[in-house]
A and B are shown apart, each in its own frame.
Chain A
Amino acid sequence: MTDKNGFFDLSKTTLSRRTALKGLAAGAGLAVAPGFVRYSQAQSSAPIKIGFQSHRTGIGAAYGRWYEKTTAAAVKAINAAGGINGRQVEVIIEDDGTDPGRGAEVVGKFATQHKTDIVFGTLFSHVVIGSAPAAGEAKIPYFVVSEGHHVASTKLNRYVFQPGITDVKSQIQSMAPWIAANAGKKVTQIFPDFAFGYDHRDYLPPALKAQGAEVIAQIAIPPTESSFTKYFPQIPAETEVIYHVMVGPAVLTFVKELGEFYGSNRPQLFGFIDSLEAVDINSPGLEFLDGSHFWEGSPRYAQPDDSAAQKAYRAAVGIDDNGAAVGDPKDVSTAAHMFGCWETLYVVKKAMEDAGYKGPEDRAKLVEATEALTAFAEGPEHPQGPKTFNGKIHQCFGIQNISKVEGGKLKVVHKTKIEDGLYEAEGDYTKQAL
């Protein structure tokens, strides 16, 4: 419990920060001097520049830090293996403040000041949606690792892609059969009263119904809330499963208060790990989660049957068997999502090579080459697992993990199939003009 290396030792904090920054190599160097362009794009030896829109400040900062670490590791691996089309990759980071207004400005800055080849980014869906018009107007490909359904909904534009992480609609749909078969038939949903919650509110009931189960109550919690007990009486007594997807810093409170409310006599719990990304599962108050189940994109804890690729990926990013930073067990990663950064960069590499990408004049070719992709095989480039890609809706579909909290760890008990998460396409980006 005691962490002597934690807060008071400022020297170490600065050091680890610096080391992390060092990993970003030249990218950070250029970010320090905006407008200072050292290579002309025409030269074939010039690096490929990727503008990385990161949540460095604001509510998404915990995710941003790990997205940066994963990106740095992937870029290092790509460069060590010869880069893209023989050119080194350089990452330029700008902070979007987890704010859609600033996000759009940052995309503009990448396109017109840093003159990056593509923009690569971010998690929070309002930032993605806010930034998408800027990317579409600047005609710069914008690859996001957001997991929201907004890309696949085809409401954005032809320049926005999500090829590295399955969207939440697909995730929910592939969870439903397992919940109905193993957890219970009468489900009460507790979700935040904003967009991330609405995906769950809208897509879970039909998915459960198809499996012979039902949602008997939906409790939407306002985003400004920091205490939850007063909403728990709304949970019907016949509830067999509580399906919870709270996010944000108050989530620990949520779990703790649920524990106080129910004690040991609780319904089954099923949650999305989004709630507890970057949070130690052994934090005080979380004992209540023991025996409950979680969705995980990529497992936080090392599993006995991990592939060689998964092991190599974990080592490259620098997380230990518990999903925390190597050397700092308190620094828990956002493992369930950040793999998407790694995989997206490899998709970018593949698409750029397919397109014979030379520079910004080939951006349209890059869009078409990305749309032409259909599947990604499991391996060092895609350590989370195999995926299919639908070029019409710019979205990939992969396997999902269901993990059980057991002895203070998350143990994968079920892996879904890709087919479980497929749905009808809602539109077609390829019909839009480039």
Chain B
Amino acid sequence: MSEASPAKAYALHLGVIALLFALSFLLPEYYHGLLARIMVLAVFAMGYNMLFGYVGLLSLGHAMFFGAGLYGAGLAVIQLGWNVPAAFAVGLGCGAVLALIIGLLALRTTGVAFMIVTMMFAQVFYLLILYFAVWTGGDQGQVVPQPARVLNFGATSLDLTNPTVRYMSALALFSLVLLVTLATVRSRYGRVLVAIRENEERTKMLGYDTFSNKLIAVVVSGAICAASGAAYALLFGYVGSSFASVQYSILPLLWVLLGGAATTLGPLIGTLFMYYVIDVTSGYTSAYLLIVGVALILLVLFFPKGILGTIRQRWLGWLP
């Protein structure tokens, strides 16, 4: 990472946010709705990138953090009748606490063992959702009632089921997480994380407590993913176990690798790209998974660092 100019990096990110804001008024209805969803899921990918990209820890269990946010927020509304901000906080809290527990256990392992341990904890989480079907609705899931999905500020209220409100809420969350990520990776702490990724032993010898640093990263990553899950439940009105299945642990990995691991905008690009490929190809053939598969292999063969990673390597060295 070159240090050229922080202003350039911030300008780029603010530019992207401004572009997304402008798109809200330009996009046709369908893509408008789709982009709102993509921004929420890109937050999931950014949370994943925090751990995978910057600390180099490959987890196959991040669906549980997304799920914790999804169910934390969804059930707070459905079972307890709480309002939207409280429910969002519950989702976020659930994800952070879960990440802390999982981090304490799973960080005892590294490499492939870390991958498998996280996958197994996620599997346990998934099965618990099924086991407690009385509350969670099991695999069928539950609808978060439309009338409850409203933000009240005194006299005014924002209906989250309104497309524009939904888009702007998604954008707000996305922008916040994007800027937090950017600030984090540019901070001293971010550099420690990268140092751990590059050589954990040496970082330890330099006097850093690598375990605590990694643990913080797991919690931050888990909390961001949970924020995405909570937003998904509140904005799109459905909580279901399929979002906690292993497939949703693989998806953020794919999005991040496609967009470029350890790039701040890569998660958005990857999510956007994957959604767009599926959306377009599914219109032409029911065998779109074949095309997705081929696209993945071609990408990894010719853009091994992901889209943004390759761009950074070849042309724009200053890209964060």
Binding site for B on A (CB under 8 A): 31-34, 56-57, 94-95, 99-101, 104-105, 108-109, 112-113, 125-126, 129-130, 132-134, 136-137, 148, 150, 155-157, 193-196, 198, 222-223
Contacts and interface: CB of A to CB of B under 8 A. Distances in A.
14 contacts: A32-B284, A100-B242, A105-B34, A108-B30, A109-B34, A112-B30, A125-B140, A126-B141, A129-B143, A129-B240, A133-B144, A137-B146, A193-B131, A193-B138
B140 A148 contact: yes
Most chain A C-beta atoms within 10 Å of own C-beta, residue among B29, B37, B137, B238: B238
Contacts of A157: 143, 146
Contacts of B127: 222
B235 to A, nearest CB: 10
B86 interface: no
Interface in B113-133: 127, 130-131, 133
A198 B141 contact: no
Given A100-B240, A134-B236, A195-B133, A108 B144 contact: no
Interface in B257-304: 279, 282-284, 286, 288-289
Contacts of A94: 282-283
Contacts of A132: 143, 238
B139 interface: yes
A193 B243 CA distance: 18
Contacts of A222: 127, 130
A95 B29 CA distance: 20
Contact of A126 (B131, B242, B288): B242
Given A57-B289, A130-B141, A130-B240, A193 B130 contact: yes
* B interface, over-half SS: helix
B30 to A, nearest CB: 4
Interface in B27-51: 28-30, 32-34, 37
B138 A195 contact: yes
A132 to B, nearest CB: 6
Interface of B: 28-30, 32-34, 37, 127, 130-131, 133, 137-144, 146, 161, 236-238, 240-243, 279, 282-284, 286, 288-289
B286 A95 contact: yes
B298 to A, nearest CB: 21
A23 B1 CA distance: 57
B286 A133 contact: no
A96 to B, nearest CB: 10
A34 B141 contact: no
Given A57-B289, A94-B282, A113-B30, A129 B141 contact: yes
A194 B240 CA distance: 12
Nearest to A128: B140
Contacts of B34: 105, 108-109
A198 B142 CA distance: 14
A193 B242 CA distance: 15
User: Sorted from nearest, which 5 A-B pairs have the closest CB atoms?
Assistant: A195-B140, A133-B237, A113-B30, A112-B30, A112-B29
A302 to B, nearest CB: 31
B176 to A, nearest CB: 23
A33 B140 contact: no
B283 A34 contact: yes
